[in-house]
A and B are shown apart, each in its own frame.
Chain A
């Protein structure tokens, strides 16, 4: 029986996400040239790299938000490469875009309640508002009247309700005050404790080191290195060279 089950499962069950030779194009320009990485269930993994390396494109390609992509993206042993974004969302992957995507014609409350629940086990509205108390006082405000930090919290908060346990977060700390960055860091730690798996695109290396288990370095549309967070001190020189910081 066990053998039979293994034959049906092409990828080892240890991976929540397995990306193999992922290539992607924006119109005619070839952005990703073969991205390979894995994410284990319950892990927080970052994609590090310079501007234009292809980190955001990697997240968008996983989510099916890019015109043309090839290779393989397996999520819980299901192949996503041919699926449209809405089908990928329904399998339990939630995406928080870099620009946050708060809708100006919706109130904070409507923004929060917008993503449909796709499976049980998500946070309740009350849980989410306890996690982000600032939002509770602003529920009837227009979504885009919130500060940048509050908009980022709202963008994360609304995908926690859906039951998706696999989060793709694109630069959640970009342009935010240090105190807000700390709050987001604590939130990610809480989510990890609750069993969420997170792939994070980050420019802020110190933030990445404070929350992640492992780091993948992306350069020119390829993953060129992987550094476990425990070995980060011994690899600082190498990382600085990669990131040019």
Chain B
């Protein structure tokens, strides 16, 4: 069959894996954006910068403090998430009474400042972060060679995405979050501290971006622009999936990663625009996104 299409299976599976890995990052990042947008109604434009911070803080932890990769996976999201908490308390929370556009402008400005600071401190050539020894090497599956670290990225992303989905859709805490997304005033009138919930939600969304950053550090070079390059595609993913839909963000993230991978096999010239073409079509046919609820 593969021979009929003139495509060697190694190329097909290789690109599928690459698509799945890209999809892992799309899913984690668009999930964070969706969680933040759902409750805060703010499009977090600094999400890419916070993903980049995740990679950099992992690199700094290893270089300056000797914190290994596995420690970084836990510590870095907490540290970067804490910076998110501070940003929400000091700045974003002052904008809730204004149009959403102001939140977008603020976070966009923050993204530029954060990227500028890291460019100034570390240059743009990129820093190496090695794959943890437990995950180096790969496995021969017969039809293709699977690098262990890349398999781990897909598994870790799926676990975190599913865990987040479960926490939001199936737990009591998630019920508070969904209720506050719909009607924060009434949830406050039940005695629940909604402002604190909003702060922690922003922190959690930022922590997801930082987690993706740590996962990315051994694959892509740790570079101040790594987030800016990725975030544009992630915004397209969020538009396709539908703003604020948790499951939509996850499924579209993985799905579009795979579609992008397949485009590289069958029509490589279109691979960098495939997602944007899909976005345009979705916007025309279903403006609220594939999984979005029309208000």
Chain A residues in the interface with B (C-beta under 8 A): 63-65, 84-86, 88-90, 94-95, 97, 101, 103-106, 110, 113-116, 118, 159, 162
Inter-subunit contact A86/B191 (CB<8 Å): yes
Inter-subunit contact B179/A103 (CB<8 Å): yes
Question: Which B residue's beta carbon lies closest to that of A110?
Answer: B175
Inter-subunit contact A84/B183 (CB<8 Å): no
Inter-subunit contact B194/A105 (CB<8 Å): no
Q: Which residues of B in the span 55-105 have a Cβ within 8 Å of any Cβ on A?
A: none
A86 touches which one: B181, B182, B183, B192 (CB < 8 A)?
Answer: B192
Judged by a CB distance under 8 angstroms, whether B188 is at the interface is yes
Instruction: Annotate B172-195 by CB proximity to A: 1 below 8 A, 0 otherwise.
Output: 100110110111011111111110
CB within 8 Å: A-B pair count: 57
Q: With A84-B188, A85-B189, A86-B192 given, can you name 19 additional A-B contacts, CB distance below 8 Å? A: A65-B189, A86-B188, A86-B189, A86-B191, A88-B189, A89-B188, A90-B191, A94-B190, A97-B186, A101-B186, A104-B182, A105-B179, A106-B175, A106-B179, A114-B187, A116-B192, A159-B190, A162-B190, A162-B191
Q: How far is the CA of A114 from the CA of B179 in the complex (A)?
A: 8
Q: Which residues of A contact B185 (CB under 8 A)?
A: 65, 85
Q: Which residues of B in the span 122-163 have a Cβ within 8 Å of any Cβ on A?
A: none
- Could you tell me the distance in whole angstroms from the C-beta of A197 to the nearest C-beta in chain B? 17
- Could you tell me the distance in whole angstroms from the C-beta of A67 to the nearest C-beta in chain B? 10
Q: How far is the CA of A106 from the CA of B182 in the complex (A)?
A: 10
Q: Which residues of B contact A118 (CB under 8 A)?
A: 191
A101-B183, A105-B181 known; A114 vs B189 contact (CB < 8 Å): no
Inter-subunit contact B191/A89 (CB<8 Å): yes
A105-B178, A106-B175 known; A116 vs B183 contact (CB < 8 Å): no
Q: Which residues of B contact A103 (CB under 8 A)?
A: 178-179, 182-183
Q: Is the interface of B mostly helix, strand, loop or mixed?
A: helix
Closest 8 CB pairs of A and B: A89-B191, A115-B190, A105-B178, A101-B186, A110-B175, A85-B189, A90-B191, A103-B179
Inter-subunit contact A115/B191 (CB<8 Å): yes
B175 touches which one: A64, A114, A159 (CB < 8 A)?
Answer: A114
Q: How far is the CA of A92 from the CA of B200 in the complex (A)?
A: 26
Q: Is the interface of A mostly helix, strand, loop or mixed?
A: loop
Q: Which residues of A contact B172 (CB under 8 A)?
A: 113
Q: How far is the CA of A86 from the CA of B195 in the complex (A)?
A: 11
Chain B residues in the interface with A (C-beta under 8 A): 172, 175-176, 178-179, 181-183, 185-194
Q: By CB atoms of chain B within 10 A, which of A84, A104, A110 has the most?
A: A110
Q: Which residues of B contact A63 (CB under 8 A)?
A: 189
Q: How far is the CA of A90 from the CA of B191 in the complex (A)?
A: 6
Q: By CB atoms of chain A within 10 A, which of B178, B179, B192, B193 has the most?
A: B179
- Could you tell me the distance in whole angstroms from the C-beta of B191 to the nearest C-beta in chain A? 3
Question: Which B residue's beta carbon lies closest to that of A95?
Answer: B189
Q: How far is the CA of A35 from the CA of B187 in the complex (A)?
A: 26
Inter-subunit contact A114/B190 (CB<8 Å): yes
- Could you tell me the distance in whole angstroms from the C-beta of A141 to the nearest C-beta in chain B? 15
- Could you tell me the distance in whole angstroms from the C-beta of A168 to the nearest C-beta in chain B? 9
Q: How far is the CA of A97 from the CA of B193 in the complex (A)?
A: 19
Inter-subunit contact A105/B182 (CB<8 Å): yes
Q: Which residues of B contact A84 (CB under 8 A)?
A: 188
Question: Which A residue's beta carbon lies closest to that of B171?
Answer: A110
- Could you tell me the distance in whole angstroms from the C-beta of A228 to the nearest C-beta in chain B? 30
Q: Which residues of A contact B187 (CB under 8 A)?
A: 114
Inter-subunit contact B179/A116 (CB<8 Å): no
Question: Which A residue's beta carbon lies closest to that of B185?
Answer: A65
Question: Which A residue's beta carbon lies closest to that of B186?
Answer: A101
Q: Which residues of A contact B181 (CB under 8 A)?
A: 105
Inter-subunit contact B179/A89 (CB<8 Å): no
Q: How far is the CA of A94 from the CA of B193 in the complex (A)?
A: 15
Q: How far is the CA of A101 from the CA of B188 in the complex (A)?
A: 12
- Could you tell me the distance in whole angstroms from the C-beta of B232 to the nearest C-beta in chain A? 29
Q: Which residues of A contact B193 (CB under 8 A)?
A: 86
- Could you tell me the distance in whole angstroms from the C-beta of A163 to the nearest C-beta in chain B? 10
B188 touches which one: A85, A104, A113, A159 (CB < 8 A)?
Answer: A85
Question: Which B residue's beta carbon lies closest to that of A109?
Answer: B175
A116 touches which one: B178, B186, B190, B194 (CB < 8 A)?
Answer: B190
Q: Which residues of B contact A97 (CB under 8 A)?
A: 186, 189
Q: How far is the CA of A105 from the CA of B174 in the complex (A)?
A: 11
- Could you tell me the distance in whole angstroms from the C-beta of A96 to the nearest C-beta in chain B? 10
B189 touches which one: A89, A104, A105, A106 (CB < 8 A)?
Answer: A89
